[in-house]
Structure 1
């Protein structure tokens, strides 16, 4: 089973590539969803985060208001490191458990972990191949503004809190530029999916 990380900055076009990969039968683990789960009131990360930031980050139902927390984290690097230090080990444990389960089944050629923070969390060593999705900076800013209803300054700050896209591309095995029309991104994703399948079926994994 080929273990693949699908990563890229916020609003870089990962979801389009993920949809293509799913259509090819790849099995997925969403690190972002796992991170949200551990921050639910019943999750292992919830007590430490609420203790650190207080009731002002809570919604009326006592769940963590992710928008309120995000405003703090994108403005405060120390706060962001604290949350990452709590959440990332829990996500890594869930990732390893799911990969082991699928490998044990022996029915999956390609296992994909989708996460915006693969490099930032130091997870690249968990994978055989890394696919980075990127786009030009102006397109990324506009996508984020449109998607999340942010002003330009806030969108720029959130993008700036993550690793530079150029650095991610340098460290990738495959890079997909999503700056152009949707059809081009889909075609590039299809091409990479075929290469990954070829590698998985040939058993050519990284050391």
Structure 2
């Protein structure tokens, strides 16, 4: 089974690409979705977070108040490390389980939609690393116009991530999403064809 790593900076359109790949029949393992699922009510991680950071990080309905957790967890490296020690093992275990289930089901290729793929060195375990690339200024404009984000906040978030140059250097495939949607669709179609060829070659071995 092929593992395709998909990543890109905030505002790059990575989710759009993931949706297009899903429409093409590829299975998606969404790291952000898994991160949300492991802290849902009834999950062990949520109880541990409440114990570590205070029961009032929970809303009245028992769900996680993400804003309050962030205010407490990102005050310093120690508290951030505590948060990561609770959530990361669960995220990693669930990701591994989903890859294994896909392989057992005979899935030809899985796309790992992961914002921090390169930062965490996870691209090393991929058969193909795909980066959705858009100039930073264009991403700022899109974040402000499409998500209603404050411009300074958008710039700060982009600056906090690794550079576009570093992402491109780690990529096997760069999808340019700075143009019209039709151009992106064509690039994704080419990517799907490449994945199909790789999967066929792997199956023939």
TM-score by length of 1: 0.85
Please list the CA deviations of residues 19-71 of structure 1 after superposition, one character each: whole Å capped at 9, or x if unmatched.
22112211111111100011223223223433444355433323222344456
C-alpha separation in 2, matches of 1:155 and 1:194? 34
- What 5-or-longer segments of structure 1 have no aligned partner? none
CA contact (8 A) 2:136 2:158 kept: no
The equivalences for 1:1-207 within 5 A come to 1-55=1-55, 57-70=57-70, 76=75, 78=77, 79-106=79-106, 108-203=107-202
**How far did residue 171 of structure 1 move?**
0.6
- What 5-or-longer segments of structure 2 have no aligned partner? none
C-alpha separation in 2, matches of 1:9 and 1:77? 24
CA contact (8 A) 1:88 1:121 kept: no
CA contact (8 A) 2:53 2:72 kept: no
How has the CA–CA distance of structure 1 residues 180 and 57 changed in structure 2, closer, same or farther, with 3 Å as cutoff?
farther
**How far did residue 125 of structure 1 move?**
3.3
C-alpha separation in 2, matches of 1:147 and 1:95? 30
CA contact (8 A) 1:16 1:186 kept: no
Deviates more, 1:63-72 or 1:8-17: 63-72
How has the CA–CA distance of structure 1 residues 151 and 5 changed in structure 2, closer, same or farther, with 3 Å as cutoff?
same
Residue aligned with 1:59, SS: coil
C-alpha separation in 2, matches of 1:104 and 1:53? 38
C-alpha separation in 1, matches of 2:158 and 2:81? 16
Larger C-alpha radius of gyration, 1 or 2? 2
CA contact (8 A) 1:4 1:113 kept: yes
* Coordinate RMSD, CA, aligned: 2.4
Please list the CA deviations of residues 89-116 of structure 1 after superposition, one character each: whole Å capped at 9, or x if unmatched.
222211111111121122x221111121
Residue aligned with 2:44, SS: coil
